[in-house]
A and B are shown apart, each in its own frame.
Chain A
Amino acid sequence: MTEAKVRAFPPAVVNAESKPYWDAAEKGKLLYKFCTACKKPHFYPRTLCPFCFSDKTEWKEASGKGVIYSHSTMRRTPEPYTLAYVTLEEGPTALTGIVDCDPDKLKIGQKVHVVFKPTKEGPPIPAFAPD
């Protein structure tokens, strides 16, 4: 199995809007947001609902399970890496990375689960690995 060399994730920029998300990541939890006004989940999480602009958004914990919507591997770097859209079990599709995998074997529709990858300075970054 030709596993990609591990590319270090750059640290996240944490601000007031995203702090609960990163605090949860420290505890190994993936959060998304749900709007109680229009009853829609969204990702990435925002204070204002991107669908109806209501501020009645609340944090929810995702199961961490999802399927690959699409993926692309960048090979022209010293450490190849795979970007992907993963559709969470709760509905929204998240822009993320696929790790701990053989990029050549990834498939659209493949089941994946969240893993947290450490960064040098800052909270760990959620990524996904094949089940």
Chain B
Amino acid sequence: MTSPEVAKSLKRPLVKVMGAGEAPKGQMGGDVNLTYSGARWSGPTAFAEAGVTPKDIKYASIYDSFTITVLMQIEDLGFCEKGQGGKFVSDGNLISGVGKLPFNTDGGGLCNNHPANRGGITKVIEAVRQLRGEAHPKVQVKNCDIALAHGTGGSLGVRHGSATLIMERV
């Protein structure tokens, strides 16, 4: 990351942060509900700052510690109705070139990378590759101008933090 001035001098495709949101979720004083994550709050903050909606996202990197993590976050971020995550995924929507929300084209944490507690940064890296048109040709999203990266840290069921980042190709 660097200043806009330096970025322009680097002769590389430029990517800008449009919006960001963060939210913690804990045991909520005993008002426990395991069916949603902090993405329910970090997502709307990021979308509002970016001035876009889930429909505008051409590619998403979503943290995948487990498959359930992805299903919950897809729903919480508004890519489908709550409870419809399973159907959304089984309909092929996460497959680049096939579905509405090309996703984790680097293989994600489950199939490729999870460098200790740094599973978040690899999400940003692949989103930037997509925006630059530098993803693997077999999974590069056409006209990828807006992308989202979302991470969850901690334990989904006990205490975690959620972070959403929306980026655009300049």
Q: In the assembled complex, which residues on chain B have CB atoms less than 8 Å from the CB atom of A85? A: 32, 34, 157
Cβ < 8 Å to A, chain B residues 13-52: 27-32, 34
B158 at the interface (CB under 8 A from A): yes
Contact with B along A85-127 (1 / 0, CB 8 A): 1011001111100000000000000000000000000000000
Residue of B nearest to A72 (CB): B157
User: Of A51, A69, A87, which is within 8 A of B29 by CB?
Assistant: A51
CA distance A92 to B28 in the complex (A): 9
CA distance A47 to B28 in the complex (A): 15
13 contacts between A and B (CB under 8 A): A41-B30, A42-B30, A43-B30, A46-B29, A51-B29, A69-B34, A70-B34, A85-B32, A85-B157, A88-B30, A92-B30, A93-B30, A95-B32
Residue of A nearest to B35 (CB): A70
- Are B29 and A92 in contact, with the CB atoms below 8 A? yes
- Tell me what chain B mostly uses at the interface: helix, strand, loop, or mixed: loop
Shortest distance from the beta carbon of A130 to any chain B beta carbon, whole Å: 20
- Are A50 and B29 in contact, with the CB atoms below 8 A? yes
Interface residues contributed by chain B, number (CB under 8 Å): 9
Which residues of A approach B to under 8 Å, CB–CB?
Answer: 32, 40-44, 46, 49-51, 69-70, 85, 87-88, 91-95
Closest 5 CB pairs of A and B: A92-B30, A50-B29, A42-B29, A93-B32, A43-B30
Shortest distance from the beta carbon of B65 to any chain A beta carbon, whole Å: 15
Residue of B nearest to A32 (CB): B30
CA distance A95 to B157 in the complex (A): 10
With A42-B30, A50-B28, A69-B32 already in contact, 13 other A-B pairs whose C-beta atoms are closer than 8 Å = A32-B30, A40-B29, A42-B29, A44-B27, A44-B30, A50-B29, A70-B34, A70-B157, A85-B32, A88-B30, A92-B30, A93-B30, A94-B30
CA distance A68 to B107 in the complex (A): 36
Cβ < 8 Å to A, chain B residues 125-170: 157-158
Q: In the assembled complex, which residues on chain A have CB atoms less than 8 Å from the CB atom of B32? A: 69, 85, 87, 93, 95
CA distance A94 to B112 in the complex (A): 36
- Are B31 and A92 in contact, with the CB atoms below 8 A? yes
- Are A93 and B158 in contact, with the CB atoms below 8 A? no
CA distance A44 to B34 in the complex (A): 17
Q: In the assembled complex, which residues on chain A have CB atoms less than 8 Å from the CB atom of B28? A: 50
